[in-house]
Structure 1
Amino acid sequence: MTKNGRNVKITLDDYIVCKRGHEWQPAFSRAKGNELWVLLLEKAWAKLHGSFDRIVAGNTYITLRDLSGAPAEYLRIKENEDIFERILDADQKNWCIGASISGKEDYESLGLVNGHAYSVIKAALITDADGNEVKLLNIRNPWGRTEWTGDWGDDSELWTPEIREQVGMSDEVIDDGTFWMNIDDFQ
């Protein structure tokens, strides 16, 4: 891991903080099956920052910077007219792109989680059925549930077979936390 641009060695034991429910389960991250890497990565991240409390609802760009060791920047979307071009450029360079919603706005009625981080998987410039250029982002909720329900969401009537083909989207709608959103709604 890195912190403030410097490599940091983190030594861990293999104890995982758990809570009792129906069964004992990890108190923080969840992993599929018996995978432990997510839990250990989170534990190392918490240790790097001093405690689990200090990593709750952190900044996406700091997380990406410290986990990857690569430079990262924070962009205020509403103050950035060229945000789509910057995201498209980062996507074409295969950079990690994250986004988050502040806890100040309420987007839950549209399927989004307030105060939550998302990964941006892809940026696509497409042509709609009327010949208009549309700037879309493919976004993923890392929890794998709850998705955007507005325009260009999985069930949107805006999707045509031709547009699905433009972005490489299958006809099968899966509730996997991955969805598309117009850049105007993203802002």
Structure 2
Amino acid sequence: MIDQEFPPTIENVGKKKTLSWKAFNDFPLFVEQSSQFPKQGKLGNCYWIAPLVAVYAAKPQQIKSLFQSHDSDFTTVRFCIDGDWQEITVDHHFPYNEEKQKVAYSKLVDGALWAMILEKAWAKLYGSYQQICAGFNRTTFKVLTGAPTNKFRTRDPNFKEIIYEIGALHFPVGANSKKQQIDNVFATNHAYSILKIDEDQIIVRNPWGIKNRDQHTLTFEEFKLRFASIECCYHFDGYQYQSEKVTSDVLEPVYFEIEIKAPGNYFFTVNQKNKRWFRNKPHLKYVISPCQIQIIYGDTILNQQQHQSNKEVWINWNFKRPCKIYIICQIEWQNIVVNEFIFNTYGPDFNQKRVQEIIKSNEDINDLGYIQFLQRDSEKEQEEEEKSNQIQQVEIQQQENEQVISPPPQQKERKSCGQCTIY
């Protein structure tokens, strides 16, 4: 059976016109007690595979929950797309290298299909496998969990306290290697998964999955020497997720009433469209617009925040007791054709509804709670990283067919990640 919306054609592969397609209909979705992690194939998507491994290592049940139905011909998965959970159905035909007799992109995991299916669903969403080359780790974390992500740079003076606190909370974490390395052991400008953070020991994994050399155990100082930043996904088991699509005018206030039913951490996010939707539409000149979110309790503003240009602008509050709050969202739209965003709440137990106005009252804010997680990553920083990689991206396409690992006995890892450059 073939998915007519995304059939096995050369156009849906992209530039790799030498590849064919092969059906994998008689393979299991998961294998119990699997000892393998997904491996990146000849596709520039380390930003996808590394976070996928990080989530699977820390929260395997979250990955399994993405699968809604599965039979020998089709599988349906759910992704959080730009803040909205959506279902995507794919068949079991995958790009195949006839010459090497192996799957071209993400590989079977102990003979199971799940990683290949997730990658194909992501490719179908954007039109081809080629369209999912290069991206942000935080995008993948959001797609797989719905939870917000934060970036921390290893040069930050309090980074040691940050990374060990994250390790104690067992969140999924990815790491971005530096643009220069002292040897060929680690790839430059490449996404890695963090599998474990324990005392003075950090275990990282290269998504290339090179046999016997894909995992590295580092001390804290060795990690700082090799990596520029980490990205932490604030995924909590059992949390609820509710979203609503909103169309607004420039700086038009949009109000939401949130009834907090149980104590705990709550995240409120404005999600704008992914730039990937506009890769083939440069004439639209799509940009991320500045956004502001405020939490109102009674007649008190709980947070003071300037407008941020970020695809996901979120705020967090750790509530100590049940209460009712209001959220005000404003976007300074800078696009002619796009003025739509998705607002979502993520937390233990709540009701969310859009309202026309705020009902103010004199409420006692004592022991209400506090901000626990503070958003640090900015679109400006990401734009700077993106611009710095443009020249390298041109070189990547020229070297597309030359990315190979040196043969034994002097086998070394590829020094550069190639076309999966993070930006």
The 5-angstrom pairing of residues 1-187 of structure 1 reads: 1-23=79-101, 25-78=102-155, 80-101=156-177, 104-106=179-181, 109-125=183-199, 135-145=200-210, 175=212, 177-187=214-224
Distance change in 2, residues 1:40/1:183 (3 Å): same
Quote how far apart the aligned CAs of 1:32 are.
3.9
Distance change in 2, residues 1:49/1:90 (3 Å): farther
Identity across aligned pairs (percent)? 29
1:3–1:66 Cα contact (<8 Å) kept = yes
TM-score (norm 1): 0.67
Quote how far apart the aligned CAs of 1:57 are.
3.4
2:167–2:198 Cα contact (<8 Å) kept = no
TM-score (norm 2): 0.32
Quote how far apart the aligned CAs of 1:36 are.
1.5
Distance change in 2, residues 1:15/1:113 (3 Å): same
**Helix, strand or coil: the match of 2:149?**
coil
Distance change in 2, residues 1:4/1:118 (3 Å): same
User: How many residues are aligned here?
Assistant: 146
Give the structure with higher Rg (CA): 2
Quote how far apart the aligned CAs of 1:18 are.
1.5
1:57–1:116 Cα contact (<8 Å) kept = no
CA RMSD of aligned residues (A): 2.3
Distance change in 2, residues 1:182/1:40 (3 Å): same
Partner deviation per Cα, 1:19-53 (whole Å, 9 max, x = no partner): 22232x22211124532211111111222344322
Which is richer in strand? Answer: 2
- For structure 2, list consecutive stretches of 5 or more residues without a partner in the other structure: 1-78, 225-423
1:87–1:97 Cα contact (<8 Å) kept = no
Partners of 2:109 and 2:216 in 1: CA distance: 21
- For structure 1, list consecutive stretches of 5 or more residues without a partner in the other structure: 126-134, 147-174
Partners of 1:81 and 1:181 in 2: CA distance: 19
Partners of 1:139 and 1:88 in 2: CA distance: 14
Partners of 2:191 and 2:171 in 1: CA distance: 16
**Helix, strand or coil: the match of 1:73?**
strand
Distance change in 2, residues 1:56/1:9 (3 Å): same
Partners of 2:196 and 2:110 in 1: CA distance: 28
Partner of 2:12: none
